[in-house]
Amino acid sequence: MPGRILVVDDEPLKRITLQIELTEQGFEVFEAADALAARRIFDSKPVDVVVSDVRMPGMDGLELLSYVKSHRPETAVILMTAYATVDTAVLAIKRGALDYITKPFTTQDLIVKLNRLFANRSPVKGDNGVETLGRLVARSQSMKRLFEQVRAVADSERTILMYGESGTGKELVAEALHQHSRRAAKPFVRFSCAALQPSVLESELFGHEKGAFTGAIRQKLGRFELADTGTMLLDEVDDIPTELQVKLLRVVEQQEFERVGGEQPVHVNVRLVCATKRDLLTLVREGRFREDLYYRLNVINLTIPPLRERLDDVPVLANHFVEKHAALVSDRKVTIAAHAMDELTRHDWPGNVRELEHVIERALAFCGGDEIRAEHILPLSGESPEGISPPALELADSGTLGLNETVADIERRMILMALKQCNGNQARAAQRLCLPRTTLRDKMARYDIPAS
């Protein structure tokens, strides 16, 4: 894949070798012996990726990284180091590095990373500034930074701890981590620890032997065994009872456990991704989460911002969900009206992306034409934000509708409102509207209002 690479290394042999071999692969390659020379090239040439050594005389690779990100944040940086530690890698990623590679390495190792980078950075066609990662789609800078972090740590075998409110997309981020890792062809197992009894949770996670308890009529494999050689997403990890945290700690440290009722250790090879909506360190201070387990899980952490902090993603996501759920409107091409999009961007989204998707699904079900209007999405859940009123029955500002069309529009909106207030119960909605139930059904058919 074509791209412009700047290689920075004070070792001439390694630098020139990379320049020759990357050029043979179709890349346009610039080279520099130190960070100051690299800055001059970077300031004067179009560069897509900077591949820099960390240890160099004068300005080091981390300082060059800061310079690149402050001047052109979209430029990716991959650091080369013979002194790689987890702390150095995490520091580099926090400062904006896309990835790091440990010396000695082959040029092919670097080419794999570069090819993956250029493949995953492609924007959504026809929508400038929008990027995708797996099933995730975003325009906001905060999510793009998260995408870069995911790509950087995907191939790491380190445990990852994700923070994010309910509905922000933690499962999709974990899925992207798996898809961009070397385990992509192996199992990806999702499991939520929320609100389960300790005995049930232990059996689900670690399995049980036949006869281990009443009803255990056969051996059962736990989720860790099912995820062997692949990736395990452990959601709501903050809900794990303290008595099971010791067993989880053993899995993290030694990759082994015993099934319930078993005596022989079971060995697995699982990359663990944990997700939580609560601050685990606060739980540690409260004595509800083991400190040693917390530090074993919190090797690399990712934070998924709530939707209210990235409202520029709302139009992108809304249109994405219209396409995703297009089957609800058969062969009609549906768009979102400007005033409806305004209502979506003004909402504070306590349920985050999940809530937005449900709102779009509901709007598609209620929409009888080719446009989603404000009355199809309102009222939104919870308190209406200041300045937003429930859908009012009023004449269109344009004045282009005749009396019959205006009355029909008002009648349709009243029916939708009554059905909403009666939770879809047609008999009660008919009573509220002072109509026979058969008349309500006829009007619902006339206005393409679904029965459910």
pLDDT band with cut points at 50, 70 and 90 for residue 357: very high
Q: For a pLDDT cut of 90, what percent of the chain falls above it?
A: 39
Q: Are residues 235 and 168 in the same domain?
A: yes
**pLDDT on residue 264:** 92
What's the token pair of residue 282? Answer: 């606060």
Q: Does residue 380 belong to any structural domain of this protein?
A: yes
Q: In whole numbers, what is the pLDDT of the chain averaged over residues?
A: 84
Q: Are residues 107 and 180 in the same domain?
A: no
**pLDDT on residue 122:** 47
DSSP state of 312: G
CATH code where residue 44 lies: 3.40.50.2300
**pLDDT on residue 375:** 84
Q: Are residues 282 and 229 in the same domain?
A: yes
Could you say which of 276, 303, 330 is where a domain stops?
A: 303
pLDDT band with cut points at 50, 70 and 90 for residue 177: very high
Q: Does residue 89 belong to any structural domain of this protein?
A: yes
Q: Which of 145-149, 226-230, 413-417 has the lowest mean pLDDT?
A: 413-417
Q: Are residues 338 and 441 in the same domain?
A: no
Q: Are residues 8 and 96 in the same domain?
A: yes
Flag whether pLDDT at 350 surpasses 50.
yes
Closest CA to 1 of 110, 106, 123, 119: 119
**pLDDT on residue 339:** 84
Q: Are residues 50 and 197 in the same domain?
A: no
What's the token pair of residue 372? Answer: 């989603």
Residue 412 contacts by C-beta under 8 Å, 6 or more apart in sequence?
368, 443, 447, 449
Q: Are residues 433 and 383 in the same domain?
A: no
Q: Does residue 383 belong to any structural domain of this protein?
A: yes
What's the domain range around 21? 4-121
State the average pLDDT over residues 364-391.
66
CB atoms < 10 A from the CB of 150, how many?
22
What's the token pair of residue 246? Answer: 């010791």
State the average pLDDT over residues 183-206.
91
State the average pLDDT over residues 268-294.
95
**pLDDT on residue 450:** 84
CATH code where residue 315 lies: 1.10.8.60
**pLDDT on residue 258:** 94
CB 329 within 8 A of CB 364: yes
Give rounded-to-5 percent helix, strand, coil for the chain. 45, 15, 40
**How far is 4 from 206, CA to CA, in rounded Å?**
48
CATH code where residue 418 lies: 1.10.10.60
Q: Does residue 44 belong to any structural domain of this protein?
A: yes
Q: Does residue 138 belong to any structural domain of this protein?
A: no
Could you say which of 303, 334, 360 is where a domain stops?
A: 303
Query: Between the ranges 87-101, 175-189, 320-334, 360-374, where is the mean pLDDT highest?
Result: 175-189
Q: Does residue 141 belong to any structural domain of this protein?
A: no
Flag whether pLDDT at 389 surpasses 60.
no
Q: Does residue 230 belong to any structural domain of this protein?
A: yes
Report in angstroms the alpha-carbon separations of 134 from 122, 175, 316, 357. Answer: 12, 8, 15, 17
Q: Which residue has the tokens 């395990």?
A: 232
Q: Are residues 60 and 75 in the same domain?
A: yes
Q: Which of 3-17, 26-40, 387-401 has the lowest mean pLDDT?
A: 387-401
Q: Are residues 297 and 349 in the same domain?
A: no
pLDDT band with cut points at 50, 70 and 90 for residue 390: very low
Q: Are residues 367 and 336 in the same domain?
A: yes
Q: Are residues 199 and 240 in the same domain?
A: yes
**pLDDT on residue 125:** 43
CATH code where residue 292 lies: 3.40.50.300
HEC assignment per residue over the chain: CCCEEEEECCCHHHHHHHHHHHHHCCCEEEEECCHHHHHHHHHHCCCCEEEEECCCCCCCHHHHHHHHHHHCCCCEEEEEECCCCHHHHHHHHHCCCCEEEECCCCHHHHHHHHHHHHHHCCECCCCCCCEEECCEEECCHHHHHHHHHHHHHCCCCCCEEEECCCCCCHHHHHHHHHHCCCCCCCCEEEEECCCCCHHHHHHHHHCECCCCCCCCCCCECCHHHHCCCCEEEEECHHHCCHHHHHHHHHHHHHCEECCECCCCCEECCCEEEEEECCCHHHHHHCCCCCHHHHHHHCCEEEECCCHHHCHHHHHHHHHHHHHHCHHHHCCCCCEECHHHHHHHHHCCCCCHHHHHHHHHHHHHHHCCCCEECHHHHCCCCCCCCCCCCCCCCCCCCCCCCCHHHHHHHHHHHHHHHHHHHCCCCHHHHHHHHCCCHHHHHHHHHHCCCCCC
Q: Does residue 180 belong to any structural domain of this protein?
A: yes
Q: Are residues 111 and 247 in the same domain?
A: no
Total domains in the chain come to 4
